Amino acid sequence: MNLFPGGTGVTHLTVYDWAGPDGLPGGSAHVHLVCTEGYVVLDGRGRLQTLADDGYAETPLEPLTVAWFAPGVIHRLVNDGGLRILVVMQNAGLPEAGDAVLTFPPEHLTDPAHYRAAATLPPDDPAGGARRRKDLAVDGFLRLREQVERDGAGALAAFYERATALVHDELPAWRGRWARGPAEAAVATGEQIERLTEGGFQHLHDGRLTVLGPPPERGYGMCGRLATYP
């Protein structure tokens, strides 16, 4: 098995320094529906803005800070200068398959076609598209934050409902990716424990080293320029 430990994903992220609608530089606000996401801050300074049932929070980020959040926590990175992060993502493959819904205003969340039109980057101008997408997500995040501050956590339910509807048709494919990756890794650990319990150790002979060099290109992600390891 050549999966990264636990079937997780690893990405090097250089957070955007583009100013948003509120003047703060950083990335797009979004939420994950089934994946926990972790940050290990490598360099620079910034803030993690989060919105969840327990309200709005802002967490300072500096080198060696480690922070993670479960599905349902809407999050936005603010870059106060040179912010670079190692992202460790549960369920490798699922975020790329759609488990990352941007906080666009409600009119862009009515159906998958409307959402894709706003979320897809034009091939002739990926940087401009990423910046427009980021601003749209931040605009929706700021509106949603006002609603939560005014009406409480119940204001999140409408967004969660729209996000769930957007990914509904993709869930069978998600299940397949999960079964072939993270679930398989967890089951393998259980089998190894059982084998050791019985005095067996054959799987130790199957151990191999896997090394990945730096990814050749950086793409325009939701939060910044991404170097994604396969």
Residues present in the chain in total? 230
pLDDT in tens, 22-62: 999 999 999 999 999 999 999 999 999 999 999 999 999 99
Residue percentage of the chain with pLDDT more than 90: 90
The identity of residue 173, as a single letter, is: A
Q: Which sign, positive or negative, has the C-alpha torsion 40, 166, 49, 35?
A: negative
Task: Please state, in angstroms and rounded to a whole number, the distance separating the CA atoms of residues 47 and 169.
Answer: 34
Asked if 148 and 55 count as a contact pair (C-beta separation under 8 A), the reply is yes
Q: How far apart are the first and last CA of the chain?
A: 14
Task: Let me know if 99 is exposed, middle or buried by CB neighbors in 10 A (0-12, 13-18, 19+).
Answer: buried
Catalogue the E-assigned strands of 25-180.
30-31, 37-52, 55-61, 66-69, 74-89, 101-102
Helix (H) or strand (E) holding 113: helix 112-119
Rounded to two decimals, the pTM is: 0.93
Instruction: Map out the domains of the chain with their CATH numbers.
Output: 1-118+216-230 (2.60.120.10)
Asked if 76 and 56 count as a contact pair (C-beta separation under 8 A), the reply is no
pLDDT in tens, 82-129: 999 999 999 998 998 999 999 999 999 999 999 999 999 999 999 999
